Amino acid sequence: MLVLKPLRKVHKFCSNLFDRLPGCTKELLMRTCYQQQQNRHFGQPVHETHPHLMGMDEVTPGITRAEYQQRRLRLATMVQEAKTQQSIKHSIVLIPSATKVIMTNDIPYTFRQNTDFLYMSGFQEPDSMLVILISDCDFQAVLFVPKHDADRELWDGPRSGDIKALHLTGVSESYNSDELEKFLYNYCKNHKEYAVWYNTNKPIKSQHNAHSIVDEFLKQNNKTKFVQNPLPLIEQMRLIKSTAEIKLMTQTTQMASKAFIEVMRASKPNVNESFLYAKMDYECRIRGAEFLAYPPVVAGGDRANVIHYTRNNCLINDGELVLMDAGCEYHGYTSDITRTWPVSGKFTKAQRLLYECVLEVQEALLGLCTPQYSLADLYKHMFDLLTPRLLLMNVIPSEVSKDEHMLTKLLRELCPHDVGHYLGMDVHDTASISKRIKLQPGMVVTIEPGLYVKSSNTVVPAQFRGIGIRIEDNVLITDGGPVVLTRDCPKHPDHIETLMASS
C-alpha cells in the first residue's frame, strides 16, 4: 500500500525571499510590502479570491484537494504495479506543465495548461513540473513552480510561488522551478537504480526550460535503464470520470446546449457565419465558460461538406442549411456539439429527407451506447444503419449499389469521418485509448454521424447536392443506460422549426 507523506512545512530547497535580502532598510521595506501584496493573491482562482467559483477545499472549481491527492496516489500505485518495474525499487515520474506560447512580439496566446499536468496537480501556472517519487511503500509529489518575480508579475499578474502552491495543491513539497536541475542531480546521486516515467515521444511542444533539463537528466544518467511513458496510465484514469468530473461534464454540455438554442434563434437569411460564431462564443462565456473548446465550424450550404471548415466568414443564403460544430471549455471540461438547421427556419423537402435519415441513425447509435459495444463497433453499425436508408431514398443510385468497390467509395465520400470519440478535459480525449475497448460506465463519448453531399458529387441525384449534415451529441455511459448530456439542444426538425418560428 502506498501512503501519502504528510506535508512538510519547510523544505530544504525552499528559497525564502528574505534569505537574499541585503541589510538595506528601505529595500527590506519595499520587499516586505511586495510580499504582503503577493500574499493576497494566487496565480489562479482560489476560494479566498473567487468564492463565487470555488469551494473551500477545491484546487480547481469542482475538484477537491483530496481528489487530486487520490489521483496522484492512484498513478503512483499503477507505476509501482507496472510489471517491468518489479525488480526496481524506485521510480520518478515527471509531468511538465505547458509554457506560454508567443503569438506575436511580446503577446502570448491564451494560456491553456497541459491536460495531464492539470489532471494530476490542479496547478494552472506555466513553466512548472510535477515530480512523483515512488519507492517501496511510499510516494511523494513534488511541485516545481515559477518563483516570485516582481517585474514579471507586474506584467503577467501574481504567481502563487512555492509555498502557496504547496498549500493550494496539497503536494508533499514544492520548490521554485529553477531548483529542478539540482533536485534531479541530487536524486540521481542518491539512488542507485530507478525507472523514469516521462513522455519523451510527445513532450508538450514548447520552449519550456524543464524539457532540456529532463533531457539532460536522461542523457547523463546511465543508471536510467527504464524510461517509460506515463501517458497511457494517466489516460486510463482520465477515461473514467469521477462524480465531480461528471458534474463538470454535465455543466459544460448543458451550457453549450443552451448557447446553441440562442444561436439558432439568432439565425436569419444572409447572416454572416462570423456572427453566429461570435454569438456562440458570447453565449458560452456569459454562462461561465472560459473559452470555446476548439475553433468552431460554422458552415453555410456546401461549405458544410468541408469537415474542418473554420474560416467562418461567408454569408448564409436563404434556403441553405447551417452546420455548426462548437463546444465550450468550463473549468477544464469540454463539450462538443454539432447541429444542422435551416438558416431561414424551414427545411426544404430534400434537406429534411437527408436530415431525418442522419437523425434516425444517430438516435439508433445513441441507444447502443452501452457496455456491450465499443466505439469501433458503433462505427460499423453507423454504416449498417446508413446504407439501406441511402439506398431506399435513392441517394445511392441502384447501379452503384451493385458494384461493391463503387459503393464503398461513395459511402466513404458521403461519410468520411469516425462515429465519435472519448470526451473529457480534451475534445479528442484520451487518444491513446483504443476505440476497440467496450464502453464502460463513467466514460463520456460523442456520437456524431454525418452525411456530406458535395455540390460537385454528380453520382448522387441533383436535389441532394450541396447539403452537408452532422448531428453530434455527448453521452455519459452508465449502468442504467446512456445519458445524453446534450439532450436539451434541439435536434428534431419539428422542434427546430418551432423554435425558429418563435424567435
Distance between CA atoms of residues 51 and 49, nearest Å: 6
Nearby residues of 138 by Cβ (< 8 Å), 6 or more positions away: 2, 3, 4, 5
For residue 272, what is the DSSP state?
A: B
The answer to whether 426 contacts Mn ion (rule: CB under 5 A) is: no
Nearer to ligand GLY, 62 or 449 (CB): 449
Cβ atoms 120, 59 nearer than 8 A:
no
The answer to whether 446 contacts Mn ion (rule: CB under 5 A) is: yes
331 binds, among ligand GLY, Mn ion, none (CB under 5 to 8 A by kind): none
- The least distance separating ligand GLY from the CB of residue 446, rounded to whole angstroms, comes to 6
Nearer to ligand GLY, 419 or 467 (CB): 419
Nearer to ligand GLY, 85 or 430 (CB): 430
The answer to whether 325 contacts Mn ion (rule: CB under 5 A) is: yes
Phi/psi zone of residue 301: left (φ > 0), alpha (ψ -120 to 50 degrees), beta?
Answer: left
- The least distance separating Mn ion from the CB of residue 155, rounded to whole angstroms, comes to 36
Radius of gyration of the chain (CA): 26
Other Cβ atoms closer than 10 A to 344: 20
Q: From the centroid of its chain, how far is CA 499?
A: 31
329 binds, among ligand GLY, Mn ion, none (CB under 5 to 8 A by kind): none
- The least distance separating Mn ion from the CB of residue 326, rounded to whole angstroms, comes to 8
> Mapping DSSP to helix (H, G, I), strand (E, B) and coil, where does residue 94 land?
strand
Nearer to ligand GLY, 283 or 448 (CB): 448
Element (H, E) at 445: strand 444-447
294 binds, among ligand GLY, Mn ion, none (CB under 5 to 8 A by kind): ligand GLY
Nearer to ligand GLY, 191 or 421 (CB): 421
> Mapping DSSP to helix (H, G, I), strand (E, B) and coil, where does residue 152 land?
helix
Q: Which of 168, 172, 116, 101 is nearest to 140 (CA)?
A: 172
Other Cβ atoms closer than 10 A to 143: 29
Nearer to ligand GLY, 230 or 468 (CB): 468
278 binds, among ligand GLY, Mn ion, none (CB under 5 to 8 A by kind): none
282 binds, among ligand GLY, Mn ion, none (CB under 5 to 8 A by kind): none
Nearer to ligand GLY, 294 or 373 (CB): 294
- The least distance separating Mn ion from the CB of residue 448, rounded to whole angstroms, comes to 5
406 binds, among Mn ion, ligand GLY, none (CB under 5 to 8 A by kind): none
- The least distance separating ligand GLY from the CB of residue 450, rounded to whole angstroms, comes to 9
Nearer to ligand GLY, 406 or 427 (CB): 427
C-alpha cell at 183: 533536485
Nearby residues of 415 by Cβ (< 8 Å), 6 or more positions away: 382, 383, 386, 449, 450, 451, 452
Side chain identity, residue 58: E
- The least distance separating Mn ion from the CB of residue 486, rounded to whole angstroms, comes to 11
Binding segment toward Mn ion, per CB under 5 A, in 69-77, 270-278, 384-392, 443-451:
443-451
Kindly list the residues in this chain that would bind ligand GLY in the complex (CB under 6 A). Answer: 294, 325, 336, 421, 427, 448, 472
Element (H, E) at 326: strand 321-326
Nearer to Mn ion, 161 or 296 (CB): 296
- The least distance separating Mn ion from the CB of residue 426, rounded to whole angstroms, comes to 11
C-alpha cell at 101: 506560447
Nearer to ligand GLY, 51 or 295 (CB): 295
What is the footprint of Mn ion within residues 335-364 (CB under 5 A)?
336
Other Cβ atoms closer than 10 A to 128: 29
Element (H, E) at 104: strand 102-104
- The least distance separating ligand GLY from the CB of residue 471, rounded to whole angstroms, comes to 11
Side chain identity, residue 35: Q
- The least distance separating ligand GLY from the CB of residue 427, rounded to whole angstroms, comes to 6
Side chain identity, residue 286: I
- From residue 451 to residue 490, the character string flagging contacts with Mn ion as x (rule: CB under 5 A) and all else as - is ---------------------x------------------
C-alpha cell at 146: 515559477
- The least distance separating ligand GLY from the CB of residue 470, rounded to whole angstroms, comes to 8
The answer to whether 58 contacts Mn ion (rule: CB under 5 A) is: no
C-alpha cell at 422: 472519448
The answer to whether 67 contacts Mn ion (rule: CB under 5 A) is: no
Cβ atoms 322, 280 nearer than 8 A:
no
Nearer to ligand GLY, 120 or 337 (CB): 337
C-alpha cell at 185: 542531480
- The least distance separating Mn ion from the CB of residue 446, rounded to whole angstroms, comes to 4
C-alpha cell at 389: 436508408
Contacts with Mn ion by CB under 5 A lie at 325, 336, 446, 472
